[in-house]
Amino acid sequence: AQSVTQLDSQVPVFEEAPVELRCNYSSSVSVYLFWYVQYPNQGLQLLLKYLSGSTLVKGINGFEAEFNKSQTSFHLRKPSVHISDTAEYFCAVTKGTSGTYKYIFGTGTRLKVLA
Amino acid sequence: GAVVSQHPSRVICKSGTSVKIECRSLDFQATTMFWYRQFPKQSLMLMATSNEGSKATYEQGVEKDKFLINHASLTLSTLTVTSAHPEDSSFYICSATPIGGLGDTGELFFGEGSRLTVL
């Protein structure tokens, strides 16, 4: 079975500072990894994904993440955050993309960008 | 892009009544839809996998008689919370993937969520 761990429940950071949101996973099989963002009272929006290929993945809104197989990590980074980045961020894993595989979500990290 | 729509976005009901939440894929067909429940400041908990034309697959601990799921067509799945009680108050989110799988996108498309408040 797969599992996802997001070690930080909350991350406060000042505007224009860099940020890293951590995600570690465990799985006995190859997985696909995702980061989603959720704004208050809304559904989830895909930030970026790793399916295969380059381990450095670039997503929307200036976010990027690096897949590290040896450390089973998929940390999310942004070099300079904005107030509008304040939201809940979820890391997710699935073992297949057929459409029938379950997605397992981490517990989420609340990013709060301070002025 | 693929759009998933949920309705209603907010619903308030009295204890003991039943509430239906709809999840529609607007520009694609989905044989599989997922229903999640999210408590305040917590992650998404998968409740069930909705399969078009067959019974839903429920996760352990989810009461299938309490949370009725019907996937009537390739673009519509409904979640009915029967005899709702205050502890059923939550944010319910559905998601869907196109027929044929996620292909190169690998993306799961989410509805906007439905907030249920049971008085």
pLDDT in tens, A17-46: 999 999 999 877 778 899 999 988 788 898
Q: What is the per-residue DSSP string for B83-107?
A: S--GGG-EEEEEEEE-TT--TTT-P
* Separation CA A105–CA A3 (nearest Å): 8
B107 contact residues in A (CB cutoff 8 A): 34, 46, 49
Answer whether B57's CB lies under 8 Å from B46's CB: no
Q: Among B22, B95, B32, B35, which residue's Cα sits nearest to residue B64?
A: B35
Q: Among A90, A46, A23, A35, which residue's Cα sits nearest to residue B4?
A: A46
Specify the pairing of strand A64-68 against strand A73-78: antiparallel
Cβ within 8 Å, pair A108-B42: yes
H helix or E strand, kind and range, residue A48: strand A44-50
In this prediction, residue B107 has a pLDDT band, given cuts at 50, 70 and 90, of confident
Q: What is the pLDDT of residues B6-21, one digit of tens each?
A: 999 999 999 999 999 9
**pLDDT value at residue B53:** 84
Cβ within 8 Å, pair B103-A41: no
* Separation CA B60–CA B51 (nearest Å): 17
- The alpha-carbon gap from B5 to the nearest alpha carbon of chain A, in Å, equals 10
